[in-house]
Amino acid sequence: MNNTAQDTLSPKLIATEAFTDATAAVGRLHDIYGRNTGFLRHHLEAYVRGGPLNSRVRATYPFVRITTTTILGLIPASPTALSPAPARTRLR
């Protein structure tokens, strides 16, 4: 198998979204995680049943980007919490 970019199956990319409601944001994370793990599960099950594996199969974890407007930021354990300016943090 040739490992070039065109030989990799991935689910369609999902554009980032902004949320002000934490419950809605976590729900969206669950949706993305479920979709991506389902994509991997589907291809693994097909392979286990004897289907061909003609390309790599790849999906990613969802990520969270947090932007604050406070001086100390949102995450006390983060180095950005000590920043004297509003912070932007990306978590994986």
Q: Do residues 44 and 84 share a domain?
A: no
Q: What is the C-alpha separation between 54 and 8, in angstroms, rounded?
A: 9
Q: Do residues 49 and 68 share a domain?
A: no
CB atoms within 10 A of CB 68: 17
Task: Give the residue numbers spanning the domain of 4.
Answer: 1-61
Q: Do residues 74 and 49 share a domain?
A: no
pTM of the model: 0.66
Q: Do residues 13 and 52 share a domain?
A: yes
Predicted pLDDT of residue 19: 92
Mean pLDDT by 10 residues, the chain (92 residues): 68 92 93 96 96 92 79 55 51 54
For the chain, the domain total comes to 2
- Dihedral sign, CA of 48, 51, 56, 60? negative
